[in-house]
Amino acid sequence: MGIIRGLCAMAIRAVHVVRELLANLAMSLPVVRGWRVRRGRTACWNAEDQVALFLSQSRMFVEPVGEAAVRGRVVVEVGPGDVIPHGLLFLGMGAARYVAIDRFLGDVFAPAALKLYEAVLARAPAGIRDGLRERGLHPASEAALRRACATGQIVLLREPIESPRLAALDPADLIVSSNAVQHFADIDRAFANMARLLRPDGLMMLRVDYGALGCWTEYENPLTFLTVSNGLWRLMGGARGYPNRRRHSQVIAALRRCGLEPEVRRVTHFYPEHLRQIRPALVDEFRALADDDLLVRDAEIVLRRSG
């Protein structure tokens, strides 16, 4: 029975690898990439759990400073994806400008996106909704959102965070990012750009997900994705923003190299038994890391400039 189970697991993995290789090849084509960005993935994002997630993320971003500290400030979000509900929440709190940076930024004006904004704002504090009304921003109005873009209240940049062109941006008082760090192509260049964007007295708030995504979540052991060789991993996701698989210690070290001082506020972990089972099969670079590092599943990190 054990042999049969092992063969089945190998077959499933082969199917996943072939599928991911083909998906990455397709995404490398400009026509496919453009279609993916336009199509987005907001169609199912108005579900109750997604609305609750965005509101929870917003509280996480604001918690270290308080809503009053957002008023009149410039807020940058790195990696918002297909929708910008955080931008509306920040503007409702009184932020002067919201800047979204994402190389795969979707159609944030799509009907599904507008429905999501309306659902999120319906559950947001009344003060935020009042703040948006004062600015003439209705969450379900594409015209109102486009006016906000035209007047500079909302800035949408379809650029990788590693792009040198971002150096021309105005400094930010608050930089936030949820579940995007694991998709950075080069964390050193990305964090260097984010550090340059941050005002000397500014604050950065990151949530980093170190877990598996996509088909790799289907395996019984959630660390299985760390057994794939680096070369094959790049072939499966180099054009798709595949997880960079940087571990917690590597992220913290990269942030410090950019002159940022991290304060880790919340951490969750994988089960030690999963690591014990998979450790002999890990790629060499992961096998060399300490158990405490490999066991970090996700973390919330607040950052200020060192010194």
pLDDT digits (tens, 9 = 90+) for 103-138: 989 899 999 899 999 999 999 999 999 999 999 998
Q: Is residue 40 very low, low, confident or very high in pLDDT (cuts 50, 70, 90)?
A: low
Q: Is residue 10 very low, low, confident or very high in pLDDT (cuts 50, 70, 90)?
A: very low
pLDDT over threshold 70, residue 42:
no
Q: How far apart are the first and last CA of the chain?
A: 60
How far is it, in rounded angstroms, from Cα 249 to Cα 238?
Answer: 23
So what's the pLDDT on residue 38?
60
Q: Is residue 1 very low, low, confident or very high in pLDDT (cuts 50, 70, 90)?
A: very low
Mean pLDDT of 72-76: 97
Q: List the one residue out of 160, 154, 71 whose CA is nearest residue 117.
A: 154
So what's the pLDDT on residue 2?
44
Task: Assess contact for 156 and 133: CB atoms under 8 A.
Answer: no
Q: Is residue 283 very low, low, confident or very high in pLDDT (cuts 50, 70, 90)?
A: very high
Mutual angle of helices 248-257 and 187-197, in 10-degree steps? 50
So what's the pLDDT on residue 134?
93
Q: Contacts by 42-51 with C-beta closer than 8 Å and gap 24+?
A: 42/82, 42/83, 42/106, 42/110, 42/112, 42/113, 42/116, 43/112, 45/82, 45/83, 45/112, 45/113, 45/116, 46/112, 46/115, 46/116, 46/119, 50/116, 51/116, 51/119, 51/120, 51/123
Among 77-81, 151-155, 228-232, 239-243, the least confident range: 239-243
pLDDT tens digit sequence for 45-58: 447 888 999 999 99
The H-assigned helical ranges of 28-135 are: 30-39, 48-62, 85-92, 111-123, 126-134
pLDDT over threshold 50, residue 282:
yes
Enumerate domains of the chain plus CATH numbers. 45-210+247-305 (3.40.50.150)
Q: What Å distances lie between residue 119 and 19, 189, 202, CA to CA?
A: 35, 36, 30
pLDDT over threshold 80, residue 175:
yes
Mean pLDDT of 161-184: 94
Q: DSSP readout, 192-210?
A: HHHHHHEEEEEEEEEEEE-
**Confidence (pTM):** 0.91
